[in-house]
A and B are shown apart, each in its own frame.
Chain A
Amino acid sequence: MTELLQQVINGLSMGAIYALIALGYTMVYGVLRFINFAHSDVFMLGAFVAYYTARAFGRWGFVMGGYLGGIAILLLSMTACAVVGIVIERLAYRPLRRRSTLTVLITAIGVSLLLQNGGQLVFGVNPKAFPDIFPSSTLNLGGLVINSNQLVVLGVAIALLSALHWIVQHTRIGTAMRAVSFNATAASLVGIDTNRIISFTFGMGSALAGAGGVLYAMNYPSIEPLMGNSPGLKAFIAAVLGGIGSLPGAALGGMLLGFVETGVSGTRWSTFRDAIAFAILIGILLFRPAGLLGRNRVEKV
């Protein structure tokens, strides 16, 4: 029983991070209809920005280890990632707006390779130890072990998801985002600046990825430039699983994947874990081709 509860908690914290990254994939897909392969590397950048700011804070003599400092680092790193995301979109994707999505896809792969390999040059290749940016302690509830970081991860993730939901559903710019996602041409006809909305979407998605990166690094404090590959791929699966383009779908997909992974990990099937994640994805897509919460687009002839 304790073991099961333990796995549930592990699954929750893993799933929350997947959900944050998956949201970025799904938002970009919603407005631009292409898979932003560089997203997982923005995630990596988030962790490194936090690493370097935390070190700088330490050097400048700020009091470290408080919640305030942690939140400041998190926000800084989200902002940095948002800027990077907007710049990437502006330089690499916007010139290709009218080209086929495959062309943009290859460019995205190029950007991803650039960030990974550039990261190896700039940050070095060896794993770095990520400092405790939030006060860290281990809670033991009758055999049930919870790291306080896991709770912080969960809290931050829920806060960010609610904020995102509010922005998309209840603000002007969120409404504009939904309009662009629904039909970009029609949106521009009613006076929405689609380029601005797309930039904004990229910024938000990248900020979420950055936050995901920081949270991931808190949970697994060993960061290196290729750290985005594996969670990026999982989050991508999560986004498609939930129905790419659907925000609640991405959150649901992320959580589901987190649970499945931790569920499989403790068993003798653990080495088949990635294969099982994909098998579930394939299974769901075969029965619900648009994912769990995705809407089926009616084909117009």
Chain B
Amino acid sequence: MIWKGWPELGFDRHSRRYSRITWLLFAGCYLSLVGCRQESKTGGLATTNNVESIRIGEFSSLTGPLAGLGQYTHMGVQLALEEINAAGGLEGRPFEVLAEDTGSKAGTAAPLVRKLIARDHVVALIGEGASGRCLEGAYVAQGAGIPLVSPAATDPQVTAVGDCIFRVCYTDPFQGTVMAKFAREQLKAKRIGLLVDASSSYSVGLVDFFKKRLLADGGEVAGEQRYNAGDKDFRAQLTALKATHPEAIFAPCYFGDAGLILRQARELGLTTPMLGGDGWEAPELVEIAGLAAEGALFPVHFSVSSTVESSRHFVEQFTQRFHKPPTGVSALGYDTMKLIADSIRRAGSTDKTAVREALRSTKNWTGVTGVLTLDEERNARKPATIVRVEQGRLVFVTIVEP
């Protein structure tokens, strides 16, 4: 009935005045309603005691451009989960990981985390490795008071969101500073060229902190070149950098870009040492860059060739389970899952506040990526291992303490 007639906008003067009054009254009621509602906007969170298994939510980039990062992390989480459950879970209660895919897209994480918290009643969250998406989810987790541990989000902002957000990796300031320190002290390089992925917060953040430390240590920036995500041709940027005669080049990015950058740099006859960030670590780096990868230097969270017993065990198990060697983020994912399970055990309950407190009191906890202590800012305090590519393998160079 109501759909049949088309409304007309022309009214006579009399009715128009009434129309206005009606609308004003309506708007008044409406706004006062909003005003009342605004304060009580938190409800809707359920507790978890009615479920058998202990549910952990995971959100990561399982598809899209950063899927490599997400999938390697997820495999680590999965391995840890299987080991924990094979050992009987928490006093017979198995753990369950609910994984959601952000598709590497901005703006997707917040609804996913809401779903994991409100629908699936997860006890804790494993955050995305990419800092941008992790940050989106962190606000939601913090709002709901559910502890979130990120395996590999290195942006300092992430844990600054609030007291529920933790990470098991080091941060960009630390990484950037370490690389600058390494370049100055060990490589004795003074003039350093920078190549930044301007559309990636990870790359931009690392370069910022690198620059700060470099300048403070008496170094200088030979040149800074920028590119955007999805670029494959870095020859123009590298040609321009080459013209500034740098003694080293720092190019933090993920391994797909890094492989091409290394290759094209060598093609253009750049023979200076190439430095990267933890995103460089993946078997594909050497496959793509081939011989050009030789001599590349970057920090890792975990060295596959590590001789520590627990790390070796992890590499063996992982390779057996997934038929390929793990990367640093796999080890971080593994540690994240184990740490959460351990914290729940230490907390003695699945109550979110108790779990958070247990996480907070993590001290000298031994994981496969090293001995880990969470500081007041809820960041992992652990040293960075710097490796160099030699004959296609990652060779230990040095450990830089925090």
Contact B232 A271 (CB under 8 A): no
Contacting pair B236 A126 (CB below 8 A): no
Tier of interface size on chain B: 35 or more
Contact B239 A6 (CB under 8 A): yes
- Taken together as a complex, chains A and B put the C-alpha atoms of A98 and B243 apart, in Å, by 57
B240 in complex: contacting residue of A127, A220, A267, CB < 8 Å: A267
For the complex, what is the distance from the CA of A45 to the CA of B327, rounded to whole Å?
A: 28
Q: Is A7 an interface residue when CB atoms closer than 8 A count as contact?
A: yes
Partner pick for B65 among A14, A226, A273, CB 8 A cutoff: A226
Shortest Cβ distance from B294 into chain A, in angstroms? 15
Neighbouring B residues of A263 by C-beta, 8 Å: 236
CA–CA, A274 and B198, complex, Å: 13
The residues of B that contact A68 with a CB separation of less than 8 Å are none
Answer yes or no: A103 CB below 8 A from chain B CBs.
no
**A126 to B65 Cα, complex, angstroms:** 8
Q: Are B236 and A129 in contact (CB under 8 A)?
A: no
The answer to the question of B279 belonging to the interface, with a C-beta cut-off of 8 Å to chain A, is: no
Query: Chain A, 216-252, contact with B by CB distance < 8 Å: what is the 0/1 string?
Result: 1001111010110110000000000000000000000
Of B198, B232, B259, which one neighbours A129 at CB under 8 angstroms? B259
Tell me whether B288 and A120 are in contact (CB under 8 A): no
Q: Is A162 in the interface zone, CB < 8 Å from B? A: no
Q: How far apart are the CA atoms of A295 and B65 in the complex, in Å?
A: 39
Residue contact B233 to A10, C-beta cutoff 8 Å: yes
How many angstroms between the C-alpha atoms of A140 and B271 in the bound complex?
Answer: 14
Contacts A3-B243, A129-B259 given; indicate if A120 touches B228 (C-beta within 8 A). Answer: no
Known: A125-B71, A127-B259, A129-B259. A270 touches B227 (CB 8 A): yes
Q: How far is the CA of A55 from the CA of B318 in the complex (A)?
A: 26
Q: A129-B287, A271-B226 are in contact. Are A262 and B236 (CB under 8 A)?
A: yes
Q: Decide: B236 and A266 in contact? CB cutoff 8 A.
A: yes
Given contacts A7-B239, A126-B68, A266-B225, contact A220 B233 (CB under 8 A): yes
Tell yes or no: A265 within 8 A of B by CB.
yes
Q: Is the CB of B65 within 8 A of A271?
A: no
Question: Which of B162-170, B262-270, B365-373 is near enough to bind chain A?
Answer: B262-270
How does the 8 Å CB contact mask read for A131-152 relative to B, with 1 for contact and 0 for none?
0000000101000010100000
Contacting pair A222 B63 (CB below 8 A): no
User: How far does the alpha carbon of A270 sit from the alpha carbon of B226 in the complex, in Å?
Assistant: 6
With a cutoff of 8 Å between Cβ atoms, the chain A residues found around residue B239 in the complex are: 3, 6-7, 10, 266
Q: Is the CB of A266 within 8 A of B240?
A: yes
Q: Is the CB of B237 within 8 A of A265?
A: yes
List B contacts of A3 (CB < 8 A). Answer: 239-240, 243
Shortest CB distance A214–B (Å): 14
B280: min CB distance to chain A, Å: 13
The verdict on A220 contacting B227 (CB below 8 Å), with A127-B255, A138-B267, A271-B199 known, is no
A120-B63, A226-B65 are contacts. A220–B71 as well, Cβ < 8 Å? no
Q: Interface 1/0s, chain B 138-155, versus A by CB < 8 A?
A: 000000000000000000
In chain A, positions 1-24 with a C-beta closer than 8 Å to chain B are: 3, 6-7, 10, 14
Residue of B225, B232, B282 touching A126 (CB-CB under 8 A): B282
Name which residue of chain B comes closest to A10, CB basis. B235
Closest approach, in angstroms, between the C-beta of B271 and any C-beta of chain A? 12
Q: Using Cβ atoms and an 8 Å threshold, which residues of chain B touch A274?
A: 228
A227 proximity list for chain B (CB < 8 A): 232
0/1 per residue, A254-282, Cβ < 8 Å to B? Answer: 00000001110111101101100000000
Distance between Cα atoms of A221 and B267 in the complex (Å) = 13
Q: Within 8 Å CB of A221, what residues of B? A: 259-260, 263, 288
With A120-B63, A125-B71, A274-B228 in contact, do A14 and B288 touch (Cβ < 8 Å)?
no
Query: Taking the complex as formed, is B230 at the interface, i.e. its CB lies under 8 A from any CB of chain A?
Result: yes
Q: Which residue of B lies closest to A146 (CB)?
A: B267
Q: Is A90 an interface residue (CB 8 A)?
A: no
Distance A218 CA – B123 CA, assembled complex (angstroms): 48
Chain A residues closer than 8 Å to B62, beta-carbon distance: 125
Cβ proximity bits A86-113 to B, threshold 8 Å, 1 near / 0 not: 0000000000000000000000000000
Q: Does B160 contact A (CB under 8 A)?
A: no
| Contact status A125-B63, CB under 8 Å | yes
Residues of B within 8 A of A53 (CB): none
B225 A270 Cβ-Cβ under 8 A: yes
Q: Does B309 contact A (CB under 8 A)?
A: no
Output the least CB separation between B174 and chain A (Å): 26
Residues of A within 8 A of B65 (CB): 224, 226
Contact B231 A230 (CB under 8 A): yes
Residue B107 at the A interface, CB < 8 A? Answer: no
Asked if A196 is at the interface (CB within 8 A of a chain B CB), the reply is: no
A96 to B269, CA, bound (A): 53
For the complex, give the distance between the alpha carbons of A153 and B230 in Å: 20
A215 to B286, CA, bound (A): 21
Sample of 21 A–B contacts (CB below 8 Å): A7-B236, A10-B235, A125-B64, A125-B67, A126-B71, A126-B282, A127-B284, A127-B288, A128-B287, A129-B284, A145-B269, A221-B259, A221-B288, A227-B232, A266-B236, A266-B237, A268-B226, A270-B226, A270-B228, A270-B236, A273-B228
User: Which residues of A come within 8 Å of B, CB atoms?
Assistant: 3, 6-7, 10, 14, 117, 120, 125-129, 138, 140, 145, 147, 216, 219-222, 224, 226-227, 229-230, 261-263, 265-268, 270-271, 273-274
Q: Which 5 A-B pairs have the closest CB atoms?
A: A265-B236, A125-B67, A129-B287, A220-B232, A266-B240
A125-B62, A129-B284, A220-B260 given; name 17 further pairs at CB < 8 Å.
A10-B235, A10-B239, A125-B64, A126-B256, A127-B255, A127-B256, A129-B259, A129-B290, A219-B233, A221-B288, A222-B260, A222-B284, A230-B231, A230-B232, A261-B233, A268-B226, A270-B226
